[in-house]
A and B are shown apart, each in its own frame.
Chain A
Amino acid sequence: MDAIRKPTPTAPLRSPETVMRLARLGSFHQCRLSFMRILLRRMKRENWTFDRPVFDIDAKGVGVAVYSAHGPDRTYSLVAFAHDLPPEQRSDRVIAHAWDSTFTLFDGVPTSDDIERLSWNVPKQEAGRVTNCEISVSRANRSVRLFKHVVDSLAAGRQPDPEQIEAVGYLMRTTAVYGSGKLGAADREAIAGRPEFAAPFQPEMLSVFLTRAYTLDLVEHLARTRAPETAATIAPDLRHRFGVGNSTGLGLAPFIVNHPALFNNWIAAREEALARVRALPRASNEEAATFRTMLARARQNAEEWRSEHSLQIQKLIMLKADLSHLETHTTADLLEGEAPWDRLYRWAEANLSIEGQEQLVSLMLEPYGELVDDLAGSMSANEADSFRIDGAMSLARLKEIVEEVYDFALKIDWASPDPNARVWYVSEEKLEPRLGERYDEPIEPYEQPLQPGRDAVRMHADISAWEGENTVAAFLLRHPQHRHIARRAQITARLPYAEIRDNTISAALLPIDLLRVKLAFFGATHFDPRSDRWVRINMFQDAPFPHELSEGDADDWSYPPWRRRADDFFAE
């Protein structure tokens, strides 16, 4: 790395008060540090190879397939079970009990005995059990319209219609991808020491990457069994247009609140990356050109991004306007001269919507892989390190921390109904996290600790009234109800991006903001909210397939390739 590229100590990190607001987190976009991109860069660098040792699926689409990924030290295999699902049973909800396909990521290459054992468990998902030889468990449903269209077209010897592909973007969408010891699978701690799984969610992303290949193989197979003589295969360019969908409800939302140290490390890595780029004294012509290319492709992405949800439609209108504004602004010589990226970011703060600002942050990292990609190594967390409460801390210091971190909450009038309107709870059906109305439903006794703001205010009141010894230990012995929030406050004092600086139980809460930030870190695109608490996304769209990874660029797919000439945009 060039010496001049070293981060300067004065690089401005954005403050947690700015970054950790729900409206901003809910406007995050994928970036170089997204988990899908980290995975593909590593597999490319390490020359991973892929094969399909088993593909035993009948004409009705029932059977099993195995996709193996061979890394330098270990092999992982996606075991996919294909089912014939009656349409009335097809639901993306977690309360479903049958799916079009079910999967597990196996640690190694499964024997026929392993596959037999898994065939009795994986199709049942939550009702089955796996072992520490399995790393994730997942399932997917077809996009009925597109799946049928593609099979019908191929069987008739035709290519599928690109417009129909674009309207949906995937053949199947996953409705849950479980890792970290769920259903008896291997604990995160048992595999976290493997370099390929050091970054967050790498097994889950690998599973989805292989699932994408399976969905394309499946439609071609079904077309071929229907019309062995005449069936077509999908043209390579069209093939890339298929990602894997994902349909995510509230189940994902509590995760980022329940893992404050981990969440801090995701945000801190991206903020550090931004600060490094803003600290650069100048941009080379080549770097400026890369930025402009990516900006044009981000415009294409915004054009292709469909949503029927009024909030997202509004955000997309603003995003498109912002990107156009940004393009005009940066076609002049503004990327020349001193500290161009810092100037650009400051301009964006004053001139773009939050959605546009966060798109810019992601785009500014694109020319600087050498400078920022190493931050991927800092995105995991040993949560045990930050878990223990420091009981020796003075109570006065804890109070100061509360006043700094939870300042937003201390300004809220908690006696009025709106700030308290919601309750996070877990339903007894499949242990699904849900959000209810405090004043309309009998759910308050089941409240989960997912409202740090309100809880911090309650603790603050008791600290103010405390007359005992001035230590956190003494206070918590008599106020055990504050133990949870005291821990969070101490974690956030050390890890400033650990806590969301907004009310998570307000009547105005949009749970999709919590989903969006997590999915953006996964590397998802085309967020399409189906309600205020349910979102669909696309994963790995335009990415290389496993068999293509050895050729070409493994990290040049997160913005769509130009499907129209750039001139068309400038002419608009």
Chain B
Amino acid sequence: MKAAKIAPWVAAGLALVGAGVAAFQPDQLRGFDVGGFSRLPVLEGGRLKPIDTVARNSLLMIRGQQSFVYQERTVGADEWILDVLFRPQVADAQPIFVINDPDVLGLIGLKQTKDRYFSFRQLLPHIAEIQRQAEAAHPIEAKERSRFQSAIVNLFDRVLLYHKLKNTVQLVGTSGLAAEVESAREPGAAERQAALVELAQFRPLPPPVGARGDKWRSTGEALRASASAGALDPGLPLLARVGWAYSFQEPSEFNKSVSDLKALTASLRPEALAQADHETVFNRAQPFYVGMVIYVLALLVIFASWLWKPEILRPAAFGLLAAGATVQTLGLVSRIILQGRPPVTNLYSSAVFVGWGAVILSIVLERIYKRGFAIAVGAAAGFASLLVAHHLSGDGDTMEMMRAVLDSNFWLATHVVAITIGYSGTFLAGAIAIAYALRRQFAPRLDPTSTKTLVSMTYGIVAFSLLFSFVGTVLGGIWADQSWGRFWGWDPKENGALLIVLWNAIILHARFGGFVREKGIMAMAIFGNVITSLSWFGVNMLGVGLHSYGFMDKAFYALSAFIGTQFLLMGLCLLPRQFWKPRASREVDGQQAAKA
């Protein structure tokens, strides 16, 4: 009994300690304060962020991963960006461009290697051809491009991003930023400054005290200003020294220059430095990745509990689920603070939030019903949604600035959050129904009370989802009335939300009128997954309407596969009794016994 009491705390404590250890990474690399450099704030995409975020997102876009193995050593994003900025000859040799499309490989005459990764140097002879093909494909609308056209445009965009990063601080092939500062007024310097302004991917130099918060400058702009006004931007010589020290591999000089640059930023923009620091901690902790791992552990432990020592393993699984929820909550809160926005601002964050809502709901259900199903379903939902979120994060910054029409924290906090909780609820009801269908096939024994518990959980969650999706839809209508002048415009995203409301209403009425029983409700709840996934992702694939904020081509197949599996599960759920596993007959006996 005692072991059962402490099991959840031990399991949760171990998981949280593990998460803490994973968050810790050394700052020093071969004596260089790489961590200190990556914490410096810069302005990219209209937003202040640490160089660490720029490095991770860029590498994620170019390579699809946040680190890579080169010459039998793992190169992290922070080390990679230093090479890109200051030692391009090293970065050019690293295999960072992933190319999967066989036609693109054929076009540039590269052999399909084992790992499909190529260095910039390997691509260099073919750049002109890649650009020519990409420019030919560019005028075609994204959704009408062929596979080859999409792949070549995508490759060109990645090459361009790499090219811009390399030329952000100093132009490739020149003698570095220090020389550029010296010769800012000499003939020919103006052209180079113009090129730097044009190519800068981010703006590393903080604005002087008193200037507007978004007036960060690229090196090109700062050089130009110093050439015309004479006053040298105080950050320029420091950045030049950082570059010089790194390119000549002088650790002590590098570390000193980085700390000088940090001190300068602290005196000009202390809040930017603090925010960049926080974001770097967030990046390194990877709360959503760690949460995913903890949810898998919770799932494994709950599976094990059905075979062995349930009195200890079930509470331990609950502890793990709670630990996963804690990590995910911390991650969400961090994002809210960093962005200064409510939790859901784009497709990526909606996936994170849907999972979070489902996990929290299952924790509540487990506290009410205490039967372990909710742990399994919650852990599976949390894992699945974080996996989806992970696949949605490859397009770059997940905390991008909000377009003007969406720039309203009030509506983002009410309408979007309510709708997303409605998604959570509908998916959770579907997940419980799937658990019901699978359990009937695979569980060693079926007791009628458990089945009743599953049905009543599903019904309660459907009612909950109806409330939130209705309120969310209505709040969306009010927002639309405020900003576009119509309450309801039959826009695809609005229609998607309406479909969820209608479907949940149909489930409730069908059960209330007694037209469906246990199996029917469960199958309908699984169909709710189909409706919700179409409303959430499907409408973005149509590419019409005011809400089409994230077009995705690859996701189409994933969505089709998901819907296919849901139909299969519905079929499984609706199988008549004689197709269940043989021991089902015992349940019939049990039910009859209960009736008697």
Verify that A and B bind, or say they do not: no
Residues of B within 8 A of A (CB): none
